[in-house]
Structure 1
Amino acid sequence: MDKAAISKPCRLGDPERNDTLIWLKNKEGRPEWFYSHSSILTDKSKYFADRLSRPNSSNLIEIQCSEFDYDHHVKLLRLLYLPAHTILDSLHSVKSAVGVLELAVAFQCEEIVQCCIQYLEAIPWEDKEEEHILKAVAKLGPLAMPILARIQPVDFTATKNVFVSAVSFAMSISGPCPPFGDELKTSAQEQVEYMLGEDEDLPLVTADDEVRSLVRTGLSKISKSFEQELSSLLLDRNLTLETTEAKVLCSLSDLEWMCNILPKMDLMQDFVSNWTEISPNVLIIVMDHKLDCLMWGLKIKLIEVTAKVLDAVGYGNVILPAPCRVTLLKTWLPYIRKIKPLLDSKGNEETGFSYKMDEDLCQSIEGAIVSLILSLPSNDQADILADWMKADQVRYPDLSEAFEVWCYRTKSAKRRLMEGLNKVGNATISL
């Protein structure tokens, strides 16, 4: 019987065969006694081995803990009594594993530390848990590498491969999207924007010639697709089909998305040049009499994309020669001036008509056009302003600010000219 009792595994809290008493005590006065065994403690923990090996050491070990890690202390004590191969299965959550890991490091329980690391390396984390994990493994040194491998910065090649794959999918460069591809394409576009905005190392990738060539290829493909689908509108006998407009809008939305990413890659010049080139043909189609009362979503989306182009050119983010700036303005100003009152009228006539130019869009376009006009040679400014004042729709866009500046500059120019002539005349007389 005695031999059987001796061979029986030790259990935490066994009051009969223990030789050590651990007292957990927190500030809230929640003490708990744990009957334990020195053989287990010294074998599994260097901290306890050191405490119990001291001369005149007591068999009572008092451990102070907080209300936040009290349960983790209890969990750690229970894990000390488990066989090594069962510890991993006893870790049931990130919170528990992190809490136990911090204590296992403090109490120098190497076996449990390894199990916690293995557990945390293998399971998914939530964002709010990641900071806690990083704090817990900060003192582990090389031991933490399996965990840190998940979040450590990747090298240039890996980053480039991911970005290229995302861009290719977002632009459908490899071909049409598979079933449910539109949703995946939208997700890819969102992730590309996020990468461009958040990754400090990505400028190295976006400066790569291969990446820039790929993006230019994507722009060309999307632009051609948009032109082809737009041209097919006039050949479609049933223009009321929603799918007809939706198909064109899909390509136009892709172009609008490119307006968001290309400035971050210093490639907006390519978009503006392309848009300026295709604009005359685009407007010929969209202003055809067959579409007079149709495709309002397409018409306003064209204005939204053009607004980004006008903004880029008007404020000097994209540099174009003066003749190109004049062409861009004279191409789109009449269209915007025509469509704005039509949208307002439809909105007043039809309840629930959603295709409107909101105030922010109107102000953005107006500001960009004024800035663009003021960047032109005086004679070109005069032509545009004269045309504006002759038009029926003089209220939008309101170019009065540009007109005032032009008048002031004209008078100043005349004054400078006269002053210059007078100086020349006086100098001649004095001779």
Structure 2
Amino acid sequence: MAEIRLPKVEQGQTKIRNVPIAVTPEGFWCCPSPVGFQKTLKSQKPLNKPKPSSPPPQVTAHKKQIPVTEKKPMTTPIKPTATYGDQRTFTPVNHGISAPVVPERVLRPKVEHVPRNVAIEYGEPGTSDMKVILLGKQGFCVKLSVHKKVLMEHSCFFTDKLSGQEPGLSCLEIDDCEDVESYVETVGLMYCKEMKQRLIKQSVSRVLRILKVAELLGFNSCIQSCLEYLEAVPWVGEEEEDKVVSSVLRLQGEGIGVTPVLKRISSNVTNPPNDTISHIMELVLKSNEERGRREMKSVVLKLLRENNSLPSYGGPADVCNETVYTLSRSCLDSLLSLFKQAVELEPSDKSMDSREPVVKQIALEADNLSWLLEILADRQSADEFALMWASQQELATLHSKLPIVSRHHVSCITARLFVGIGKGELLPVKDTRQLLLQTWLQPLINDYNWLQHGCRSFDRKVVEEGIGRTILTLPLEDQQSILLTWLGSFLKAGDNCPNLQRAFEVWWRRTFIRPYSDAQGNVPQSDSSMASKQQD
């Protein structure tokens, strides 16, 4: 509210022209736009539009000329009136409209020439004792015929402005109104006995606009009704939720109780219980419904990634990592037990019916471990997982005793670790990397053909690049030992074995070319040193 003026209306003062305004389906008056005024003027065109006179007929010399006459259209006065409810009425100015004698082209009124003055009367017609004039930024001017007693009972703002005024008809001007329509609606709510019923059909954005004006006017009962509405209505989308929260927090800073609304997004507990995340993950890991488990794994992983992007994500991160590692150890123990059970079943019972439940459980536990590894990799905390997996020598030994269809899911975990090391997502120490290759590279090679054709998510090029880079992080002697072993397998299996040709080339250059290049680079230095000695 930029400027407030309190002039007194006197006799003979220029009056603002009354024009119709629009009525929304929700029952609120709206300040009309220029387009709305244009439509109003269009409706006031002559009802009996004259038809253009036809040209005189051509006559020949032997026929009489027939005179053509025109009928003047009747003058029809139009007296539109409209009322709404028992709170506000308005009466548009009546104009008698007569059609012209000679039809002329009717020019449409331009938008900038459309009248922008609106008059609204609240309560019983003719009982108002005060005028409030709202001046909008776009040239709109709305004159409200109101009751001084009603305004002072509901608004602290009007009480302060009008308490010292003389009795009688007064006028209050409010300049530079940002939202004239919301002002009109908010003043109208002062005449409502059940504000909640009026707000119940409104949108959240509209109620927020009313709340802002009610705050400026000190309309406490309206503020309370708006808060009750916001506490009960659903907030659709993050953008709408942010708008509600920002508006409510602004009120909270002014000492207005907004706790019921904020309880939707905040808890009285400063830090959520540490076992909440653990409980959610346990529910997901123990689910036997494939689709629900798969979808919730994606949702939880996405939400944890959002948490990782927060700048001040410190303490809860450690708690989450501990939870993930605890669950990982439990899954590893379960997987080892299932492998032992599957090995015991193999010699005695070859039927698939007896092995199918165990095979499904192995696939489930392997998928759970892959999901937990993905969570740790996103949080740059998977180094300990690599050590845990590299230390599973017993599991790797049992791996070779099971058919590929039962065991290949486990090799997906190994492949993911190699990819993570190759991309720098986890940085285990040299001993861990070496142990990982010694324990799990050969089982991965044995399952490689099945992984290529049986796993949709398996990316051969990415996995091969990860294995090669992991090997090249070791000392040169270890690189040679591992790559020569791989070479024997590759020459026998071909495409059924990982193609580590790039890593092999790098090792070759490091072993046979670099020493010679380094020696050649040292020759000029030795020659120059010898020449300097001879000069001395």
Aligned to 2:367: 253
The structure-2 alpha-carbon separation of the partners of 1:333 and 1:258, relative to structure 1 and needing over 3 Å to count, comes to same
Aligned to 2:100: none
The structure-2 alpha-carbon separation of the partners of 1:229 and 1:13, relative to structure 1 and needing over 3 Å to count, comes to farther
- Given that 2:305 and 2:378 are in contact with CA atoms closer than 8 Å, whether structure 1 keeps it comes out as no
Match of residue 275, structure 1, among 385, 389, 393: 389
Residues 336-376 of structure 1: CA deviation (Å, up to 9, x unaligned)? 434343455xx5xxxxxx63465xx2232122212111122
Residue 104 of structure 1 deviates from its aligned partner by: 0.6
Aligned to 2:152: 42
- Given that 1:343 and 1:355 are in contact with CA atoms closer than 8 Å, whether structure 2 keeps it comes out as yes
Match of residue 385, structure 1, among 480, 483, 488: 483
Q: Which amino acid aligns with 2:331?
A: I
Residue 194 of structure 1 deviates from its aligned partner by: 4.3
Residue 50 of structure 1 deviates from its aligned partner by: 4.3
> Which one has the largest radius of gyration?
2
CA–CA separation in structure 2 for the residues paired with 1:10 and 1:39:
15
Aligned to 1:284: 398
Aligned to 2:103: none
The structure-2 alpha-carbon separation of the partners of 1:197 and 1:212, relative to structure 1 and needing over 3 Å to count, comes to closer
Residues 24-62 of structure 1: CA deviation (Å, up to 9, x unaligned)? 676788876654211101221233334545768844756
Residues 167-209 of structure 1: CA deviation (Å, up to 9, x unaligned)? 2331359x9669999589748844762464244443212335x
Residues 202-254 of structure 1: CA deviation (Å, up to 9, x unaligned)? 3212335xx65544322211111122234333427543676554332222222
Residue 131 of structure 1 deviates from its aligned partner by: 2.3
Aligned to 1:166: 277
Aligned to 1:4: none
Please say if 1:333 is aligned against 2:441: yes
- Given that 2:130 and 2:146 are in contact with CA atoms closer than 8 Å, whether structure 1 keeps it comes out as yes
- Given that 2:471 and 2:479 are in contact with CA atoms closer than 8 Å, whether structure 1 keeps it comes out as yes
The structure-2 alpha-carbon separation of the partners of 1:388 and 1:265, relative to structure 1 and needing over 3 Å to count, comes to closer
Secondary structure in structure 1 of the residue aligned to 2:370 = helix
- Given that 2:339 and 2:395 are in contact with CA atoms closer than 8 Å, whether structure 1 keeps it comes out as no
Higher share of residues assigned strand: 2
Q: How does 1:20-419 map to 2 (within 5 A)?
A: 20-22=130-132, 34-53=144-163, 58-59=170-171, 69=179, 71-83=181-193, 86-92=194-200, 93-126=203-236, 127-137=238-248, 139-140=250-251, 141=253, 142-143=255-256, 145-146=258-259, 147-148=261-262, 150-151=264-265, 158-159=271-272, 161=273, 163-171=274-282, 182=293, 186=297, 189-190=300-301, 193-194=304-305, 196-207=307-318, 213-234=322-343, 235=345, 238-239=351-352, 244-263=358-377, 267-278=381-392, 281-282=395-396, 284-285=398-399, 287-288=400-401, 291-292=403-404, 294-295=405-406, 299=408, 301-314=409-422, 317-322=426-431, 324-342=432-450, 355-356=455-456, 358=458, 361-390=459-488, 391=490, 392-394=492-494, 397-411=498-512, 412-413=514-515
CA–CA separation in structure 2 for the residues paired with 1:22 and 1:169:
58
CA–CA separation in structure 2 for the residues paired with 1:305 and 1:70:
63
- Given that 1:22 and 1:36 are in contact with CA atoms closer than 8 Å, whether structure 2 keeps it comes out as yes
Residues 288-342 of structure 1: CA deviation (Å, up to 9, x unaligned)? 46x34x35xx62x4343222211344455332334x4334224433344343434
The structure-2 alpha-carbon separation of the partners of 1:169 and 1:377, relative to structure 1 and needing over 3 Å to count, comes to same
Q: Which amino acid aligns with 1:355?
A: C
The structure-2 alpha-carbon separation of the partners of 1:195 and 1:168, relative to structure 1 and needing over 3 Å to count, comes to farther
CA–CA separation in structure 2 for the residues paired with 1:43 and 1:416:
94
Residues 118-138 of structure 1: CA deviation (Å, up to 9, x unaligned)? 432454423221222244345
CA–CA separation in structure 1 for the residues paired with 2:197 and 2:87:
20
Residue 75 of structure 1 deviates from its aligned partner by: 3.0
Q: Which amino acid aligns with 2:508?
A: C
Residue 102 of structure 1 deviates from its aligned partner by: 0.7
Secondary structure in structure 2 of the residue aligned to 1:202 = coil
Q: Provide the TM-score with structure 2 as the length reference.
A: 0.60
CA–CA separation in structure 2 for the residues paired with 1:75 and 1:29:
19
CA RMSD, 1 decimal: 4.3
Aligned to 2:46: none
Aligned to 1:5: none
CA–CA separation in structure 2 for the residues paired with 1:185 and 1:230:
27
CA–CA separation in structure 2 for the residues paired with 1:122 and 1:200:
33
CA–CA separation in structure 1 for the residues paired with 2:443 and 2:501:
19
Residue 80 of structure 1 deviates from its aligned partner by: 0.9
Q: Which amino acid aligns with 1:334?
A: Q
Q: Which amino acid aligns with 1:259?
A: L
Residues 74-123 of structure 1: CA deviation (Å, up to 9, x unaligned)? 4312321234xx33454324333212111111222122223323432454
| Unaligned runs of at least 5 residues, structure 1 | 1-8, 348-353
Q: Which amino acid aligns with 1:368?
A: G
Residue 255 of structure 1 deviates from its aligned partner by: 0.8
Q: Provide the TM-score with structure 1 as the length reference.
A: 0.73
Q: Which has the higher contact order (CA 8 A, sep 6+)?
A: 2
Worse overlay, 141-150 or 103-112: 141-150
- Given that 1:189 and 1:257 are in contact with CA atoms closer than 8 Å, whether structure 2 keeps it comes out as no
